[in-house]
Structure 1
Amino acid sequence: MTLSTGCHSEQDKYNRIQKLANEKLKQSETRILNKLMQAMIREGLIQYTYETTEENVKLIYITPVKNVKITVPIENSYFLGQLDIGGRITVKKEGSTTHIHTPTQLIKELFPKVDSRQLELLINELEDSVKNDALALTAEELQKDLYSGIGTFEYLHRQSSNPEFSPLVFLEQSVIEGHTLHPCSKTRLGLTGEEVMKYAPEWRGEVNVQPVAIHKDISSFSTVKGGPTMTEILLKEYPAIELGMKRQFKELQKDLKDYEIIPVHPWQFEHIVKRYFNEELKQGLLIPIDMTISSQPLISFRSLAPHNRRHHHLKTALNVQMTSAKRIVSPTSVWNGPVISELLNIICSQDPEIKEKIHFLSECGGGHYRSHRRETSINLEKNLSALIRENPEKKLEKGQIAVPGAALINTSPVSEKVLSLEIIEKWSIERNVSVEAAAVHFIHEYSNTLIPGLIHLIVKHGVSLEAHLQNAIMIFENDCPKTLMIRDNGGIRILKQRLPVQFQDGRISNKTNLLTTEAVDLYKMFSHAVLHNHLGEIIVGIIRETGISEGLLWEQVTEVIQSTIDSIKEDAAHCKNASQFEQEIFGPVTYLKSLIKMRLSDAFTENVYINAPNPLTRKGNTDEVTICKNQLA
């Protein structure tokens, strides 16, 4: 469903949307400003003092230079260090006090004497994030009142009778917030406003992927061992591609056997392929096929789902900067994706406990341009490349819904409630318990579906997945979390010494530092992705809406983690590794990825972590725990 504004022309439509977006700009400036301020404080990039006034008002004071004081009012703070900013941020200097309205103002006040190219880039990215956040809020506004008087899951089940409707896609495109921790969550440098509306997931538009035939002499392809290639998969799922190729190639007097296929995002084809690969196009080494694949954009923007719940998802290259990096697909990713899928499949075949708890979405194959020709302004190999990934909905049973983690912290356009809270309220009514008891039960069940398999994978096999809200998909059945699915093999850490013997031969490329010799790196990945950027955000969202004790919810997470470690310890072969993980996870700190520090140092491909509080070592109110457990008994 493409959003409609009731206008008669595309230009009228864009003008009206831009007007609505301009009305959202102040709201977006505040949203991104507060996210930036929080990141600066949590990542320790600035020195500050904290005070609670006699009126019980909490304030943070920052003095970037002499005789300048920035004041940040704090409404709430949480176990992991998240902050709710409770009003205007002000700056006092030269005897007067003024409000800070924008992220750019804040950067200039915090770093008035720093002349840095990285700061200039960050300011540009923040301003773009504000602009696109306003567009996203406009898309959200236009969806209101389209669905009414029905629950989200009920709506999705009803629509599922249409084979072209995907509940997963619907939920992914309902995510407005994006990255919860990064102030540049809506940065889309390189796209115009019209292009954002055309290709961004929240606008629910069509993305017509361009298949491009590429000669085998200038390409490199990978596949899961013994599995079909990306070309073979595409030709099987889209027979019209093969028919079109046969007609074209006959006219061009080319041999089909000499070519493979790379799916290309339409923006990438128009702006990058036509411009930088003109030589190969003229020589017939690249041949655009006279048809397109109709698809829908997912949360990650450049990952696309077809109108068939069984067909593979496409991860395309897009030379557009989002958060801190351009979303191209490197040759290393093309190689490692299928190889790591093989590794995970081997682990599942050897470890029934992991196979039962997690379904790894295989990156079945990929390909990229390969040539000695060089282009100074862009990396050609990374800009004509793609991966093909298993569809999460392919193996779902009747009544199951695939829910991306990020959808749980966003407002559903159907119910106009935060989705996790909508589920909790439904549990409360159906089970005749308080909302608090339902929330406790929800977090326990959700944690028990999310966490155990990930810990087994770390402790027994030395693999830590980046299971944050964007990569984790939870399968719900009867409104309850049942199975975890994980996608994207890029953000992963593997401990060399625990690799199965099949992977000791150097098959995994370490150009992106996937491999490590330090076990603590596995925990750091788990800490940031699972505790901070997954459970932490779900829990804070529930607390903001209900006022439930945070300690009560974190206690459920602690209980699941402890019971998982205890069960692994029963096997003498893994007892030592389990004890080591236990010591780390119940230690004094957790680890938070320092996203702004990484951006300012231009080291966004290297993980930089800072210490953060550990919510697993704080206890909830004993009476509250007893009351909730009694209700659920």
Structure 2
Amino acid sequence: MTDLTVCAYSPGTVRDAAAHTESHLAVHAPQLRAAFRAALPQAAAAVGRRLLGALWREDFADTRIRYDGRGHRHAFDRVEFEAVPADDPVDLLPSSIVDGRGWTLAAELANAVANLAIAYARRSSVDPAGDGPDAEAVALERLAIDGHNLHPCGRTRIGWNVDDVLAHDLEAGTTRIGFVALPRDAHVGDDLGALLGVDAPRGFVAQPVHAWQRDAVLARRHPEVRILDGDVPAVPTAALRTLLLPDGRYLKLSLDIQVTSSRRSISVASTHNGPALSTLLTRLLAAEERVTLLAETAGAALDGSRDASAILRDGLTAHLAGGERVVPGSALPLLAGDLLDEHGGGPLAFLTDYARLVLPPLLRLATRHGIALEAHLQNCLPTFVAGVPHRLVLRDLAGLRLHRPRLAATGAQLTLWPGSVIGTDDLYTMRAKLGYTAFQAHLGELVIALTRHGLDEAAAWRAVREVVDETYEPLRADPATARAAAADHAAFTAPRVPHKALVRMRLTGAGDVYIPVRNPLHAP
């Protein structure tokens, strides 16, 4: 298979990416060529708007000078640009960064445009491929066709070629899970094959893998791994590497392609930590009546490698009551109008109800136990009853940050895999993870969506601040949490708070990079 991003377009232009894509569509899906060509301008504009917004927010000086006053300003220094003054997002990159890793970013942008245009061309109904709340949730995820709500490279699929996108992306509606046999002495974790009813040869353990990963990665890199016959169907979610099984559970599988800023393989640490964290969080969240965790019940990996990792996760079916409607967070801004009509209380009342569902359990967990969940839209599955926010369902624990001293002070016992990146002794790191995902990427997107239905943005953030104050009031009154609560409250309501700098992260090639932005929760 050919890597889409290394095909003779080192300048990373959309023209080159589009020509490459269309040549593959001519072979693999000729019926999509006309729709793909027609969708390219829309896709380029969508990627361009997010890129321009990111460049502005991350304070690239030449972007500020060239585009000052052209966009709509929102909280956390966000600016939304309706019109993009370029047909190719690559042309928006400041000349000062178009060298070195800037060329890598250019190729990623071009890749994102081409794949988004394919997705637009394949746009279909949201009828669920199966019964139950999980199938309905995945169907609704397909509404959020642009991908990540802030990242300009939300549709990058670096490592997949066009035929791979057609076979395995979210719009495909189905993909396959294969199985390999890992040598028993190279297997780490639970016997997932046995849990899924798959046998392995003597001396081996059966391990589920994404069909693409099996054929493109494991068969080439790992001669010690045996490919087993047969596979099973599964439904791709918006996370791509997380697949819905026919029995309603999920498998999160290593997928060695780049989506947004990361290659989506899975560390050995995550396969160990997920089940351990699920056990702990289930206990810690037991008092939160309106919170449900989709537990990661088992995990396994190839020792010393990220290439064959897998994590088994619970589904929704056993956790919901009659009348609950699940709306994946990624689809929430798109369905805000429908929910408002059902709610009947107006946009500010709806937002306040929603903030009271989402924020208190997340803030309490961080203050009491030092655990900052990565509560961006994709990881949250809120439910509604007659439009009223009812329950917060949380999933995927790989991106959380755990402040070891705070957790240790509670007496909780948790052994992380050595070197796990989720553990930290730095309160700034923990707070930045929670603050960026919950306030900016999650509530910030919903607030903007509700402004289209008459919500006043300043009033919205005053209401959110009231929810924050209400949450911390009893925590500050409790001697066991008073000091931590006061410090957390001050951090989340400070004049400036950390924003995840998505473009600068790509240019540095490092881990999370944060910059300060103005905070609408600050009340002088």
217, 220, 231: which one aligns with 1:275: 220
Equivalences for residues 255-270 of structure 1 within 5 A = 255=202, 258-270=203-215
Rate the CA distance shift 1:334–1:139 in 2: closer, same or farther, 3 A.
same
| Alpha-carbon distance in 2 for matches of 1:164, 1:460 | 32
CA distance in 2: counterparts of 1:321 and 1:194, whole angstroms: 16
Contact 1:168 1:404 in 2 (8 A): yes
Aligned partner of 2:79 in structure 1 is 83
In structure 2, how many angstroms separate the alpha carbons of the residues matched to 1:304 and 1:287?
Answer: 20
Matched, 1:19 2:34: yes
* Structure 1 segment 22-37 matched on structure 2, within 5 A: 22-37=37-52
- Quick one: structure 1 residues 537 and 196, their matched pair in 2 at CA, closer, same or farther if it must change by over 3 Å? same
Query: How do 1:480-499 and structure 2 match up within 5 A?
Result: 480-499=388-407
Distance 2:83 2:69 in 1: 6
Q: Name the counterpart of 2:350.
A: 442
Match of 2:144 among 145, 165, 175: 175
| Pairwise CA distance, 1:164 | 9.4
Per-residue CA deviation, residues 192-248 of structure 1 (Å, 9 max, x unaligned), is 2232122111332x21111223221221115xxxxxx5334312xxxxx3xxx3xxx
Q: For residue 341 of structure 1, what is the aligned residue in structure 2?
A: 278
| 1:401-420 map, 5 Å | 401-409=325-333, 418-420=334-336
1:270-296 Cα shifts (integer Å, max 9, x gaps):
11122222x325xxxx241x3322110
Aligned 8 A contact 1:173 1:203 in 2 = no
CA distance in 1, matches of 2:391, 2:354: 9
Q: Go from structure 1 to structure 2 and tell me whether the alpha carbon gap of 1:569 and 1:368 turns closer, same or farther (over 3 Å shift).
A: same
Deviation at 1:328, TM superposition (A): 0.5
- CA-CA distance at 1:86 after TM superposition: 3.8
Superposed CA deviations along residues 37-96 of structure 1, whole A, max 9, x for unmatched, are: 11111012x115xxxxxxxxxxx753xxxxxxx34652411122221224343xxxxxxx
Equivalent runs, 1:106-117 vs 2, <5 Å: 106-107=92-93, 109-111=94-96, 115-116=99-100
SS in structure 2 at match of 1:383 = coil
- Is the contact between residue 183 and residue 224 of structure 2 (CA under 8 Å) also seen in structure 1? no
Aligned residue among 98, 108, 112 for 1:125: 108
Secondary structure of the 1:399 match is: coil
Partner amino acid for 2:296?
Answer: E
Which among 277, 299, 304 is matched to residue 366 of structure 1? 299
Q: Alpha carbons of 1:61 and 1:337: their partners in 2 closer, same or farther (altered >3 Å)?
A: closer
Amino acid at match of 1:181: L
SS at match of 1:394: helix
Query: How far apart are 1:512 and its partner, in Å?
Result: 4.2
> Which string of whole-angstrom CA distances, capped at 9 and with x for unpartnered residues, describes residues 357-383 of structure 1?
422222111111126xxxxxxxxx111
Aligned counterpart, 1:301? 240
CA RMSD of aligned residues (A): 2.5
Q: Structure 1 stretches of 5 or more lacking a match?
A: 1-9, 49-59, 63-69, 90-99, 148-155, 223-228, 236-240, 372-380, 410-417, 429-436, 620-633
In structure 2, the residue matched to 1:202 is: 171
Do 1:230 and 1:364's aligned partners in 2 also have CA atoms closer than 8 Å?
no
- Between the aligned partners of 2:395 and 2:487, the Cα distance in structure 1 is 27
- In structure 1, give the amino acid aligned to 2:478: D
Are 1:211 and 2:174 matched, yes or no?
A: no
Distance 2:68 2:35 in 1: 29
Pairs within 5 Å for 1:419-438: 419-428=335-344, 437-438=345-346
Q: 2:259 corresponds to which residue?
A: 322
**Corresponding residue for 2:61?**
47
Is 1:559 aligned to residue 496 of structure 2? Answer: no
Partner in structure 2 of residue 610 of structure 1: 515
Match of 1:187 in 2: 156
CA drift of 1:408 comes to 0.7
1:393 aligns with 2:304: no
1:61 & 1:578 partners in 2: Cα distance?
A: 37
1:617 is displaced (CA, Å) by 2.9
> Which entry has the higher C-alpha Rg, 1 or 2?
1
Distance in 1 of aligned mates of 2:423 and 2:68? 41
Give the aligned residue type for 2:502: L
Q: 1:216 is aligned with what amino acid?
A: R
Q: Which residues of structure 2 form unaligned runs of 5+?
A: 1-24
Letter in 1 for 2:218: V
SS in 2 for 1:111: coil
Give matches, 1:501-540, under 5 Å. 507-509=415-417, 511-540=419-448
- Aligned partner of residue 499 in structure 2, secondary structure: strand
Question: Is 2:159–2:257's contact at 8 Å kept on the other side of the alignment?
Answer: yes
CA contact (8 A) 1:405 1:472 kept: yes
Write the distance in 2 (CA, Å) between the matches of 1:16 and 1:618: 56
Supply the distance in 2 between the matched residues of 1:20 and 1:487 (Cα, whole angstroms): 35
> What TM-score does the superposition give when structure 1 sets the normalisation length?
0.74
Change (3 A) 1:507 1:275: same
Q: 1:134 aligns with which of 99, 108, 117?
A: 117
Q: 1:174: Cα distance to partner? A: 2.5
Alignment: residue pair count: 500
